[in-house]
Every structure is written in C-alpha cells, then in structure tokens.
Structure 1
Amino acid sequence: MTLMTRRSVLIAGTATAGAVLLPAASATAGTKTSGKRISVGSGETYELSATTRVSELSIAEGGTIAAPDGYSLSLTVDGTETGQLLTETGGTATLIQAGTYRGDVVLTVAEATAVTYETLTFPFRQALYVDAAGVDRDKSVLTAVRGGKVTDAAARNVSITSTGECFDGVFVQDATYTLNGTAISLTGNGRCDFAGYGAAVVGDGAATKLVLDGARIGTKGVVRTAVIANDGANVVVKNSVLHTRNGVLPADYQATVETPYMQSVPWMLGLDGNVRATNLIGKSSKATYLNSTVFSETWGALSVEGGSGLKLTVVDSHVGNTGEYGYGTYAIGDAVVRVLGSRFDVGSYATIIAGPAAVVHYGASTRAAVAALNTELDLGLSAAELKAFPVRNTVVNSGHFGYMFFGAGTLTLDGGTVINSERATFLNKGQQTAISVDGAGGTRLNPGDGIILQMIELDDPGPVRVDGKMLNTGVYTEPTGDPAKDATFDVTAAHTADGAATFTSIKLKGDFYNGMRKGKNMVLTFEESTVEGVITASRTKHRVDTIDASTFYELGIVTNTAQAAVNNGVVVRLNSGSAWTVTGTSYLTSLALAADATVKAPRGKTVTLTVDGVQTALTPGTTYTGALTVTVA
C-alpha cells in the first residue's frame, strides 16, 4: 500500500503558480496577485488551473474565484474547509464567498465528481475520495485531511473539519475501505441526503465494503448527514459516535416531498427538523451499527429511504433524538430493519413503518442471532468481537408513541423487549399490519396513556401541487358526521388488509381501540396470554379540528368514544390459556373462545355479553358474531 499524508498533494509554491488570468472580456482585468497573496476585485473572475497555496486570499463583493470546466475548487484555511456556500436555494453549485482569508490558505483544484440523483447532478467535493484503485488524489482535497495516516486501504486517526456548505468528508465508490479512529466535524448546510451531497461519510456502489471503527462524527446543518449507504454498498459502523444537529433553512425554502429538493422532514409524519443522522438508500444496500451511539436532534436517527432490498441492523447500540420529536428507525418499501440488544431514547417513535412490505424486528442480542447476522451481512467480525457482545434485551423509551404505521408492514417484538411510551404502543393509521408480540422472554408493553393499540384513519393531508411543485402545505380537517355504512364490508371476518396483532405468552394491561371510519377491522389474537382493559370499536376525535405545519404535533393524538362498529369491526380470538378481564364497555363484532379461555370482570363486578341486543351466556369453546357488547357492572 502507498502511504500518503496531506502533504503528498501537489501544491504550488507561490501565489501565481497555476493561476490563469482570463482576458479582459471575461471581467478579469485588474485581478492582482502579490507575493503569496491573491486579491480578486468586484466584477472580476480569477481562474486557477492548479492547486495553489497562499498566505492570504481576498475576494471583494461581486468577485469570483473558480476552477476550469471539469474541475472543482475548494478552500482550506489551516486545514479546515471553509468559505463555500450554495449559490441559490434548491441549486447545486457552490461558490467561495467574498471575504479575506488568512493563514495556511490552500485552493485545491480537483477533478469534478458529478453525482446524478433523479433530475439533478450534484458537483461533489470531498476531503477523501476512494475507488477500486485506492485513494484518488485528483478527486480529493487532501489538505482537509489532518493528522494520522492514509493508505489505499485505510485511514487511521485522521480528522476532517468543514465550515463550508456541501463538502463531504469521505466518499467511497466501489471499494473496500476502513476508517479507524476518524474524527469528522461539519458545520454548515448540506443539500441532498438522498445523494449524500454534504454528508460526512458516503459508501456508494455494490462493490463497496466500508467499515467505520471508532469514528467520532458531529454535524450541524440542514441535511448534513453523518453516514449514507447507497446503491448496494455494505457499510458497517462499530464502536462509533454519530450526532447530528439541525441547521437553519434558507429563508425562501419551500418544504416539499420532492426528494431532489427535500431539505426538511415532511411535517405530516408528526415531526419537525432538517437533518437525520444516517440514510440507507438504493438497491440492496446494507447498513449495520454495532456498539455505537447514533443521535439526531429531531427528524430521525437511522433512516431507510426508497430503494429495494435494503437491510438496516442495530446491535448493542444507543439510538435516539436529543430534541422533542424524532424517530429511531424508518422502514419503507420492503426494507428489513432489525434492532437487537439496544436502547432507544426517541422523541416520537421507535420506528415509523411506511410499507408497503417492511419487516421490523426488535429483540435480544443473543450469541446465535449476532453470529447469524455476521454471516448474512458479511460484517467481518472476529471470534473475539463476537464473544465481546453482551447478551441483552432491547429497551425503548419514547416521548410519544411506540410504533407508527402509515404503510403496511410486519413488526415482531420478542426477546424481552420493553417498550415504554407516553402514548399508545402501536399507532396504526389505517394500514394492513401483522404485529407479533412474544412475551416468553419478558417482553413488556408500558403505554403511559393506557392504550396498547390505537387504529385511526390516516391523518396525513398529503402535499399540494403549487405552481408545478409538490409542497407540504396541506391541511388536515377532522371529518364531521357519522361514517356511512358499507354494506359490502364484513365486520365479523378477518381480512388480509386488516390491522392484525398477535400476543403470545404475555400479560397485558391496556386498551385497544379501532377508530376507523372506512372498512378495516382490528383483529386480535391472544395465545397463552392475559389482557386487562377495554377492547372496542370507537369514534375518534383529534384535539383540534384542523392541523397544519404549525400544529404538526397534534397528528395521531385522539380521544376515543366507545360505540358499536360501523365499518370498524373488532375481531377477538382468545386461544388456549388466555383470559380477558374487561374493565369497561366494549363493542366487538366477533369473539372466539377456546375451551379453556375466559372472559371475566374485575373482582367484585360481573361481566355481561349481549349479541344483537340479546343477553347471551359466555361459554368457553364458543364463537360469537354480530353486534357484541361486553359490559361490566
């Protein structure tokens, strides 16, 4: 391997070396270089054809310093990238701003790194660019890589600092590379976290295996993401700390769901913020976080966004949000998200499940499970590393809900997972779900408001097309009047598209409400479990009648009035070894009792069942359908 330091880049020794003054017609007349200084006057353009070191760079308002076509220009002062800002909101180009820069001033002329995402091409600049041949000096700004050692296979104990906009720390394209003990600090806005423009670390391409070990990454800025895995890359982050903080959006930014221009979270998720800590995108990409700490201020910590065949894995890690709102993980498409032996301290949700076929699992970091992941995901963990992982359960602490479905998906909780949430454990916004909770290992659900499962209509108003742009200016309006009965929908049956949940070997205390207006049943199955609470169809109402971006936090928060089902059936199956202690009037549409299942009232009270208005005995081994009302007195 070839050993390099930041001095190995070709740097011109004088202010004028490599500098080209354009003809007067190009508005460069009067541009001056003096000794080891460059001065660019107002209305002038100064073009550099080679990397240049000076002691002072002065650019007047209206002056421009640039590189030739096909090249980028980056400014470092005393080893820190600085001075660069986007030229317009929603644009891609950056420009070194007017001002005077003194110290070890280096202007690096690098080969352009153009990355196209959908309709836009982003002119990337990065401290370290790595491809299959190793470190590409011609595309790297090596004066921004300080200390440590850099080879074609690894960078050890280096630091990268940026205070300009849209500067990446490390970009690895179709290569195997390791970052050991890397420290990256980025302050200032990025531009697109679907492309990685302005991220600390990007792993891109199906041939990429990128390992971060002992990294310390901190960013502050709009979409200034810490780590991105894209287009089939396998990114492994271990023993590391990642922390991102929000920046300040441009005054003329218009919030949108159009991903090439999206720089803030869609408020319709019940969130705010403008930077997420990580993003997993593309086709068949993998991102794994081991024994690491990953926090965003708001928005989200570990995001999965678009693509297919994506795998996000978290083991023995601490994940969350430092602000009031935010999620731990996001699962979209057919993504597989696994969280083992970790702690989540989140503002709003442990996971948002956006579907339509996402699979999410929270469980314990057993030795067998971690070893299987090591093989499946090609993590490269040694026997000693595998042995060092503690076997422990997962704990979630959420300031709002446990999990939110606004797309179809499968969610499994087992291995002693504990979910502590201020509001409902599961918030289902009208989606097909397959929730499975296994309490055999000590799994517990602790909703602060006493609601385990809340089903409501989707309260996302969606974007609005304004002058050809999809803007986040929609307004949710609470429906009025009673829902119209759909005579074609069977409220007594279980349908594939229903909201289903199965609870096995667990003791539950809490309520279940189906507040849907359109045809969707809540289907609950209990195996060797006990449940104490209300299970019912309901009429829901938000705390306010309209919700827009200024009141995003009201989304999902409703009150329930128990009432007979209209199009919102409640199908309950009490299988062998299960018992339901009814604590309040409950309206069902189907109740199936195993031969040893029981329905009872709290001590000192009596439970009564009516079927279509007729009082009926509760008999084990019987199935009841129709308009069922279960009361206690």
Structure 2
Amino acid sequence: MTFSPRTSRVSRRSIIVAGSAAAGALLLNPVTAVAAPSTVGGGRELTVGAGESLTVSATTRLSRLTIASGGSLVAPDGYNLTLTVGGVETGQLLTATGGTVTTIQPGVYRGDVVLTVAVANPIAFGSLTFPFRQALYVDGDGVSRTKSVLAGVVGGQVTDSYARNIRLQSTGEAYNGVYVAGGSYALRSPGVAFDGNGRCDFVGYGAAIVGTGTTTTLVVEDATIDNTGVVRTGVIADGGANIVVKNSTIRVKDGVLPSDYRSTVDTSVMESAPWMLSIGGNVRATNLLGTETRASYVNSSIESENWGALSTDNGQDGTLTAINCRVANTGTAGGYGSYAIGNATENFLGCRFDVASYATINRGGTVYYADSTRAAVAALNTSLELGLSARELAAIPVRNTVIDSKRFGVMWHGAGSVDISGGTVLNSRTATFLDKGQQVSIVVDGSGGARLNPGNGILVQVMENDDPGPQMVNGVLLNTGVYTEPTTAASKDSSFDNTAAHDTDAVAAFTDIRLKGDFYNGMRGGLNLVLTFTRSQVEGVISATTTKHHIDSIGADQYLQLGEVTNTPAAAVNNGVVVSLAAGSRWTVTGTSYLTSLTLAADAVVTAPRGRQVTMTVDGTTTAIAAGASYSGAIVVQAG
C-alpha cells in the first residue's frame, strides 16, 4: 500500500523554525498530513498491522503512529524514510551488526509524529554503501529541501548560507545532524544531542556534523555537541574540506556495542578502538579523513570518554590544528589526545591535554606542540584559511601547551616526528616518548621553557613493537592476536652497524634544556637510538637494554599491559646507542650506561653526581673521557 499526500511549493531561500516542529514551522520540505490515515479527535493516526508493509511516498505528519510486530514502513526506491517525534529523530535502528540499513521499530509513537521522505544520500566506502539520513543537507546551492529531514531541525533560523540556534536530537541510530557537501556554510550556536549508536566514523555515518568535498568550507561557532553512542562522532572532516570550529564544546561518551560485535581493524565494520594500541572505548570525538582535508579547532573543548579526542585516519596529507583548546579523555579504558597517520600535520598551540594514555599516537604524521603566540596563530590563520578576523586574533590569549597524561607522552607504532617548543610542558606518569621499534624524529627546543617530566624517570623508551596484529578469521580481520614475550636472547646481525646513525633509526635532538631521566634502547632488531644534546644538561642513564613485559602473554583482556616493560641495561647487540654531546652540554651519569658511540664537543662534559667518579671503558679498555674526542665500539660509562 502507498500513501501519497499533497505537497505545496515553499521558498528555499530562508526558513524560520520557531519553538518545535509541532509549532507549525515554515519548512523547506513541506510537511503535510496524509489523507488516507484515519482521523481521531482532530488528529491523524496510522496503524501498520502485523505482516503489513506500507510505502510512504511523501512526507507525512501524524498525531499517532502504531506499528505492530512484523509490520514495516518503507520509502520508495531512491529515497530514505525518517521518523521524528516532537522534532527528535527516533525509533530507527540498524538491522544487523555490520550492516548499513535502518528500519523503524514496532511500537506506538504519539505527539508531533512526522515521517519524512527524503532523497537518498548514499555514500560508498569499501564494499559497503551507507544510506545517510540527515537533518540538514547543504551543497553548493545551499540547503537541499529534498535531502534534508527538516522536521528534525528545531528552533532557530536556517538559510542557504547559515543556520543559527538550531537544535538537533536523536535517540535512533545512524542518523546525522548536518551534512555539508559543497560551498561555504556557517553553523552558529547549534546544539546537537544524539543518544544512540552510529555505525562508521570512517565516513561519518551517524555523526553530529560532517563536512566533505574540496569545495566545502564549514565554519562552526559556539556549538554544543553532546553525543552518547558507539561511533557517534561529534565532527567529521572529509574529502579535502576545510572545517573551522570555534568557541565550541564537543563531548562524546561510549555506547553499548552490539552483543555479536567482534573487535576488528576492518575499517568498514570497525566500531571500537583497536585494543592492540593499549586503549579502549567505542567513540572518537572527531575524525579527519580524505586527502588534504583540514580541520581546525579554536578556543574549544574536545572530549572523548575513551578512544580518542582528535584523530586523523584513512587519509593523506591532512592538517589537524587546535589553538587554545582543551583536549581530554574522561574514562578509564584508555584513550589519546590525537592520532596522526597518512603524512598528516598536526599543530597544537596553547592547548591543555588531559589524556588517559597518550598525548598522541603517531603512525606517519608530523606533530607540533608549541605556544599560541600572535605570530604563530596569524601564520596558521593565513596558511589554513581559518578566516579569523583581526579582532578574533587579538582576543586569543598567548598560552603554552600543557600535557598531562595518565600513562605515556607520545607513542609511535609507525614512523613519524614530534617537535616540541615554546613553554610546552609534558607531564606523564610513564615514559615521555615510547617508540615501538619505529623510525622516529624527536626535536625538543627548551629555549622557551619547555619541560619534560616523566613520572617513572624514563624520557625515551625504544622497544620492540608488541602489537600482535589482527588475524584473518573467515575472511574478516579480527583483533584476536596475542603478544608473546621472546624467550631467547637477541642474536647479532653482522650486516647492521650499531655504531652509526641510519635513516631508519630513532633520532632525538634536544636543545637548550635541562633533562632528568633515562634513555633506553631495548630493540632486538637493527635500530639505533641516536641522541644529540646541544647546550643542554642531562642527568640519567643512557643505555642499550634488554626489556621485559610484566606478563609474558598479552591478549585482549590484558591490553593495558602493552608498552609496559622493565629495562636491564646491557651491552648493545643490534640496538646501538649513539650519543653526541654538542656545544655547551653536560651529561651527569647516574648509572651504568652501554653505548656504541660517544662524541663530545670541545666544551662538552661527562661527569658523575657529587661524591662519585665517572669512568669509561671502550671494548673493555679503560679510557679517559676527553673533550672534543669521539669514541666507538662497546662503550661502558659508569659512575662509581
């Protein structure tokens, strides 16, 4: 059976949505009552019986909708159907775990009931197609009345260039708030509250706000986004878009995963954090996708319960920026401030990080932590086309970046670089820099007051990658691997030179800074730790080590043990430690240190704590430490 009510022509230039959808609002996509349903007490009612399937061919307003068990409502081919009650999207759930389609559930719906028939917005990703439904669809021509679910837009004003003071709510699943796919658009003071699961944050299916496409510029200001649900992301930037979020609050909380969901890294069906990164949770606050996409957050708060607050993923050459923002994880399952992949550039100026596991996980990005100086912010305003006015720029206070992590500072499970400058302070309960066997670059300039404060006294920890990786099970990549601690000693690779720097090594340079802590290289395979100190004071152990996890076998139930190792300083095998004390530097040796190369500038000093004496052997021979000299081989430096 098909219902097809009359419709009328409405201007698409401007919409004023006052009060609620029930208040007779003027909508771009007109809402009219269906003639076929029965009229009871002046209202319109529709009942769908058991085993009955009705096609709704046009947007329909009712006072009561009853769907019996086994009954269904569907839209015509090429269209989507969305149920709202009192302006709140509701009643629609995904039909299967890993599926993409939603259906309206049996039940009784009363009040201002609207069934919106909108032109389909199918988005392909991998082998799947996601049938997006969204309250507001915008393209280069402005708001599309045919693709929007305008009965879900409550309050405020909507035009072809901006929406102001609108409220969007959902208690269903896989429903989007605002989807911008072209042109320039502004969201001013929107409020979004979604409670219910999304489906895929690699396309933004179920997100509050999505901006996508190379012609898209989306400015979001004074927004409040408060979502609860699996992958019910706050903001998605995709496809080369330029997204700028100002003076906003983005908060997401975990939902309940389907009972038959299996942890996977297959991005088309992935709905939870990969536990192999030693994090948990099932929703990220934001995600940046696609090629050369830009997402910038200014004077905003970005908070996830677990998993991640700011992320780049499944893209290339993107730019993620946060200026004077709060970046936080509030849960205990583990999470990160940012994730960097695909040659992404991430800029954090004047931010406050309060994170559960890592400030950043790096797998192929370049990350900067610095101060929000006038010059730095103005430069990003120009290069990233942030559109900040002179007045807005002047109102941004100059701040340093402060990172507080309940576990590590920065972790690498892929090649990447980190640059720390200005007055940045990085406080972590465990190692400041955790390198899981990757080619990394660390640059720390302490001339502006930067400080590194590892709670466990380890500044740099290099170790084997303990990510067990996924396993292919019935054609699906499932996170069922188990890490097992090696039981044999590392054997020497005669082709690897552990006394020299290589392009594939872990390289760190520290300038104008006072450091207290240890530097350990616990790799078994060929990777050297190359350290350069310039005008810096270092107090600690710098050594090759053998590492051991606290437990010998780590699976999904023990994921928080990943990255947690103890160190036993030992002679290098394939894990050289190459140290250069450049001009004005001093190393105070606090314990036995095994190096493979040591170079001192003319004014560099190696010493021991007060009351102790430093000694060195090279290939077993006692050797004086002389300024301006270089040493190579099996070097042991001790403070006796």
Above 0.5 in TM-score? yes
Of 333, 336, 340 in structure 1, the residue corresponding to residue 342 of structure 2 is 333
Of 270, 280, 284 in structure 2, the residue corresponding to residue 272 of structure 1 is 280
Of 427, 433, 436 in structure 1, the residue corresponding to residue 440 of structure 2 is 433
Report the Cα distance in structure 2 between the residues aligned to 1:309 and 1:136, rounded to whole angstroms: 31
SS at match of 1:4: strand
Residue 35 of structure 2 aligns with an amino acid whose one-letter code is: T
SS at match of 1:550: helix
What residue number does 1:29 align with? none
Is the aligned partner of 1:8 residue 2:26? yes
Report the Cα distance in structure 1 between the residues aligned to 2:562 and 2:352, rounded to whole angstroms: 25
Deviation at 1:323? 0.9
Of 374, 381, 400 in structure 2, the residue corresponding to residue 374 of structure 1 is 381
What residue number does 1:23 align with? none
Deviation at 1:12? 5.2
Report the Cα distance in structure 2 between the residues aligned to 1:390 and 1:431, rounded to whole angstroms: 37
The residue correspondences of 1:466-545 to structure 2 (distance < 5 A) are 466-545=473-552
Q: Deviations over 1:235-279 (max 9, x none)?
A: 000000000000000001111111111101111111001000000
SS at match of 2:232: coil
What residue number does 1:22 align with? none
Deviation at 1:33? 7.8
Cα gap change, 1:50 to 1:475, in 2 (>3 Å): same
Of 387, 403, 422 in structure 1, the residue corresponding to residue 394 of structure 2 is 387
Report the Cα distance in structure 2 between the residues aligned to 1:479 and 1:16, rounded to whole angstroms: 73
The residue correspondences of 1:232-251 to structure 2 (distance < 5 A) are 232-251=240-259
Deviation at 1:407? 0.7
SS at match of 1:282: strand
Of 611, 625, 628 in structure 2, the residue corresponding to residue 618 of structure 1 is 625
Residue 447 of structure 1 aligns with an amino acid whose one-letter code is: P
Deviation at 1:16? 3.2
Residue 54 of structure 1 aligns with an amino acid whose one-letter code is: L
Deviation at 1:376? 0.4
Report the Cα distance in structure 2 between the residues aligned to 1:484 and 1:309, rounded to whole angstroms: 39
Q: Show structure 1 runs of 5+ residues with no match.
A: 20-31
The residue correspondences of 1:188-267 to structure 2 (distance < 5 A) are 188-267=196-275
Is this contact kept in 2: 1:586–1:631, CA < 8 A? yes
Residue 443 of structure 2 aligns with an amino acid whose one-letter code is: S
Is this contact kept in 2: 1:15–1:38, CA < 8 A? no
Report the Cα distance in structure 1 between the residues aligned to 2:610 and 2:192, rounded to whole angstroms: 61
Is this contact kept in 1: 2:32–2:59, CA < 8 A? no
Residue 214 of structure 1 aligns with an amino acid whose one-letter code is: D
Q: Deviations over 1:545-565 (max 9, x none)?
A: 011111110010000001000
What residue number does 1:156 align with? 164
Report the Cα distance in structure 1 between the residues aligned to 2:99 and 2:196, rounded to whole angstroms: 16
Of 443, 455, 466 in structure 2, the residue corresponding to residue 448 of structure 1 is 455
Is this contact kept in 1: 2:285–2:308, CA < 8 A? yes
Q: Deviations over 1:472-495 (max 9, x none)?
A: 000000011101110111111011
Q: Deviations over 1:329-355 (max 9, x none)?
A: 110011000100110000000010011
Q: Deviations over 1:59-100 (max 9, x none)?
A: 111110111111111111111110000001100000000110
Report the Cα distance in structure 1 between the residues aligned to 2:70 and 2:470, rounded to whole angstroms: 38
Share of identical aligned residues, percent? 59
What residue number does 2:311 align with? 303
Report the Cα distance in structure 2 between the residues aligned to 1:536 and 1:333, rounded to whole angstroms: 32
Q: Deviations over 1:300-325 (max 9, x none)?
A: 00000021120000101100101121
What residue number does 1:27 align with? none
Report the Cα distance in structure 2 between the residues aligned to 1:619 and 1:283, rounded to whole angstroms: 52
Of 171, 178, 191 in structure 1, the residue corresponding to residue 179 of structure 2 is 171
Deviation at 1:412? 0.4
Report the Cα distance in structure 2 between the residues aligned to 1:482 and 1:61, rounded to whole angstroms: 64
Q: Which has the larger displacement, 323-332 or 206-215? A: 323-332
Query: TM-score normalised to the size of structure 2?
Result: 0.95
SS at match of 2:559: helix
Query: TM-score normalised to the size of structure 1?
Result: 0.96
What residue number does 2:122 align with? 114
Is the aligned partner of 1:45 residue 2:64? no
SS at match of 1:68: coil
Is this contact kept in 2: 1:11–1:53, CA < 8 A? no
Report the Cα distance in structure 1 between the residues aligned to 2:292 and 2:462, rounded to whole angstroms: 32
Cα gap change, 1:527 to 1:508, in 2 (>3 Å): same
What residue number does 2:8 align with? none
Report the Cα distance in structure 1 between the residues aligned to 2:91 and 2:584, rounded to whole angstroms: 68
Report the Cα distance in structure 2 between the residues aligned to 1:3 and 1:65, rounded to whole angstroms: 31
What residue number does 1:186 align with? 194
Report the Cα distance in structure 1 between the residues aligned to 2:468 and 2:619, rounded to whole angstroms: 37
Two-structure CA RMSD over aligned residues (Å)? 1.1
SS at match of 1:143: helix
Report the Cα distance in structure 2 between the residues aligned to 1:12 and 1:516, rounded to whole angstroms: 66
The residue correspondences of 1:353-372 to structure 2 (distance < 5 A) are 353-355=362-364, 358-372=365-379
